[in-house]
Amino acid sequence: MVKTLDRMIVGMVCFSLFACASDSGNDTTTQDAAIVMDGGTLGAHVDMGDARAIDAPVATNGVDAGNDSSDLTSRPDAAPNVPGKAYGEQCSADSQCESKFCLTNDGCSRSCDIKMPNPCRAEKAFCVPLQGDPGFACAEMIDTGSDTDDAYISVGDRLTRSLTPLKDADMFTVEVARSEPVSVIVTPSAGIDVALDAYNPIAQPIGAFNSGGPGGIEAGLFSAGQTDSWVFVIVRNVGNSTGQYQISVEKQK
Ligand SMILES: [Ca+2]
Ligand SMILES: [Ca+2]
């Protein structure tokens, strides 16, 4: 059955220890302010109209996908001769995708496990929730390179990782329990300049942190509102040297 991404999840808010939502070069800045200004009001809906506009329209290929949930693969007109489509190609039926997994509006995809480190690394994508389904699928865009420094982390975790080569980025999926704001603190080695970009569970940017220079700590505070949630934190090397850093998740006192 064709699946749809959940675009209405809210409840992950970024509060800054230094400077929240001062975007550092990401091209999706227009949504930052609205989301951060949300202030944690669960149920507030972010208007995704603009964001959706960047997506190519769904190719219907003469098949009316409509809004019903019937399995298009059972229809005689469901383009049986269309060759298997690759990840990201437009689709209107699971049968059109090599993966047999079609996302309405987002093309051929695959399922993913949110608890795995950077589960959609190969697709350069986020692992985001499905609508009306407990599962997740790879969608949207994020390029973190190919190393395996990525991790799923929660309060009490402290990891040492490296930023090599110069433009390296590592993804951390940070668990944030209901009513327990957490600080994510990145401490680089001397001479290493790091920046943090934060995204909510549906891959919307909610904050960017880069107030320190080489060797300077970058940190953000995240709150989940009324349900357990998580935030994607991308640690980037924005300096001129490669080296190590520590990332830790601490309960906000
Ligand atoms: Ca790395
Ligand atoms: Ca910095």
Q: What is the pLDDT of residues 55-68, one digit of tens each?
A: 333 333 444 444 44
Spatial distance between the Cα atoms of 189 and 245, rounded to a whole number of angstroms: 6
Q: Which ligand is nearest to the CA of 242?
A: 1
Computed from CA positions of residues 149, 154, 160, 163, in that sequence, does the dihedral angle turn out positive or negative? positive
Tokens of 101: 């997994």
Q: What is the pLDDT along the chain (253 residues), one digit of tens a residue?
A: 899 999 887 666 766 554 444 444 333 333 333 233 233 333 323 333 333 333 333 333 444 444 444 444 444 445 555 669 999 999 999 999 999 999 999 999 999 999 999 999 999 999 999 999 999 999 999 999 989 999 999 999 999 999 999 999 999 999 999 989 999 999 999 999 999 999 999 999 999 999 999 999 999 999 998 889 999 999 999 999 999 999 999 998 7
Task: Output the CA torsion 96→97→102→107 (10° steps).
Answer: -100
Angle at 101 between CA 120 and CA 84, to 5 degrees: 105
114 alpha carbon to ligand 1 midpoint, in Å?
20
Q: Tell me how far the alpha carbon of residue 11 is from its chain's centroid.
A: 15
Tokens of 136: 């997740």
Q: Which ligand is nearest to the CA of 247?
A: 1
Residue 157 in contact with residue 248, Cβ under 8 Å?
yes
218 alpha carbon to ligand 2 midpoint, in Å?
6
CATH entry, 13-41+144-251, from 3.40.47.10, 2.60.40.10, 2.60.120.380, 1.10.1840.10 = 2.60.120.380
197 alpha carbon to ligand 1 midpoint, in Å?
15
210 alpha carbon to ligand 2 midpoint, in Å?
4
Spatial distance between the Cα atoms of 50 and 31, rounded to a whole number of angstroms: 9
**Main-chain dihedrals φ then ψ at residue 61, nearest 5 degrees:** 50, 35
Q: Which ligand is nearest to the CA of 239?
A: 2
Q: pTM of this prediction?
A: 0.75
DSSP state of 5: B
In the beta sheet, which residues pair with residue 244?
162
The domain ranges of the chain are: 13-41+144-251
Q: What is the pLDDT of residues 156-187, one digit of tens each?
A: 999 999 999 999 999 999 999 998 999 999 99
Task: Output the CA torsion 60→110→114→129 (10° steps).
Answer: 20
In the beta sheet, which residues pair with residue 229?
176
